[in-house]
Amino acid sequence: MIAAAGSDRSDAPRTGFFPSIQGLRGLAALTVVCAHLYAMPMLAGFLPPLPGWLYKVFDTGGHGVELFFMISGFLIPASLVRHCRVSTFMYDRCLRILPVFVVLHLVVFTLGPIAGYKFFKGIDAATYVVLFVVNLLFLPDALGLPIAQQNAWTLSYEWAFYIWFAAMFVAYRAQSRWSMFALGLLALAAVGYRPNTAFFGIGIAFGLLSFRFPVKGWLGLGLALVSFVLMFGLMEYVSVWLALVPGFVFFAVVLTPESGLTGLLSTHVLQFVGKISYSMYLIHPFVLFPLQLAGRKLAESGVNLWLLWGGFALLGLTLVVIASTLSYEIIEVRLRRAIDRFLSRKWDGAQTKVQQRA
């Protein structure tokens, strides 16, 4: 997730680049990965007994997606304003999101039936085609149909946010108050359907306002830690609506240059993980799945559970970083540039033909 909030182009000038936001992407991706390093062994039966409080901590890890929502709310509106044109903005969003997603989509729908993965067991050709198209269009969560890529449900809401904000941008420029009012009601309905999408609003608020907390050094780091824990804990065990308050505080500290948190988020490790976070977010279930199967078999043969879980976590995280780095370099950078060049040539050729006919 995604990572869906990344910069428009990997080779674009870093105007408005926030190292703390880049590091936050990395932190968000790592929380999701760590949650699966716990959940997948538990489902496979080789998670050793843990203290009760540790189960509760791991259960909150999946809420890293709300961090991605805040990042998108903060960056995407500014990106659209910079582009000035909705068509150019959506073109760059497609180049950012689709290459990795489509490659993994084709992998799932090619190897899934062979391996009997998830819903592929025993489905007929018509169902296969329907699920192929529905998943390709990011619609399974909205339609209540099986999802092929475990984490891709968040992309449905990312795309909805892109389209909604683009429509709001057009309505604002046209000074159509009724359209803006209707789009506002639509946003409220979406938040009512999926409350955690309200975290987009936190990012939008900070994109419009210059509000920051005047906290520095260790005080800022402590405030960030407390608000981070409260945000994740409230979302998992109490209420998403209450979690918006510490979420607001946490994001304010992220954007405060003098806070101790910005220094932590700006470290080389989190900057690197932030760079590959989109690939990491989507690809890590594919990397961990074979290890999960192997762990189940070894557990059934009597191998020590602590040894299995430790090996799964260490080897899994190592392979995830390697696979994500390769995905970033090959797909997000090189393939995306190749697609951009190809489409640009096609567009320039079409424009030339039109001019010649004129």
E strand spans, 51-92: none
Question: What is the per-residue pLDDT across 71-89, written as a single tens digit (0 to 9) for each?
Answer: 999 998 888 888 888 999 9
Q: Is residue 2 part of a domain?
A: no
The token pair at 288 is 């961990």
Domain presence at residue 4 = no
Contact between 41 and 35 under an 8 Å Cβ cutoff? The reply is: no
Q: Does 213 map to a domain?
A: yes
Residue 90 within any structural domain of the chain: yes
Average pLDDT, integer, range 339-358: 75
> For residue range 7-64, what is the model confidence (pLDDT) as tens digits?
443 333 334 678 999 999 999 999 999 999 999 999 999 999 989 888 888 888 888 8
How high is the pLDDT of residue 352?
66
Cα 358 to Cα 355: distance, rounded to the nearest angstrom: 5
Q: Does residue 34 fall inside a structural domain?
A: yes
Joined together, the tokens standing for residue 280 give 């990491």
Q: Is residue 10 part of a domain?
A: no
Which residues span the domain enclosing 352?
A: 19-357
* pLDDT at res. 1: 42
Residue pLDDT, tens place only, 102-157: 999 999 999 988 887 888 888 889 999 999 999 999 998 888 888 999 888 899 99
Into how many domains does the chain fold? Answer: 1
* Separation CA 33–CA 341 (nearest Å): 33
In a domain, 14, yes or no: no
Q: Does residue 1 fall inside a structural domain?
A: no
pLDDT tens per residue across span 188-233: 999 998 899 999 999 999 988 877 777 888 998 999 999 999 999 9
Percent of the chain, pLDDT > 70? 92
- Between CA 312 and CA 297 the distance in angstroms is 13
CA distance 301 to 213: 55
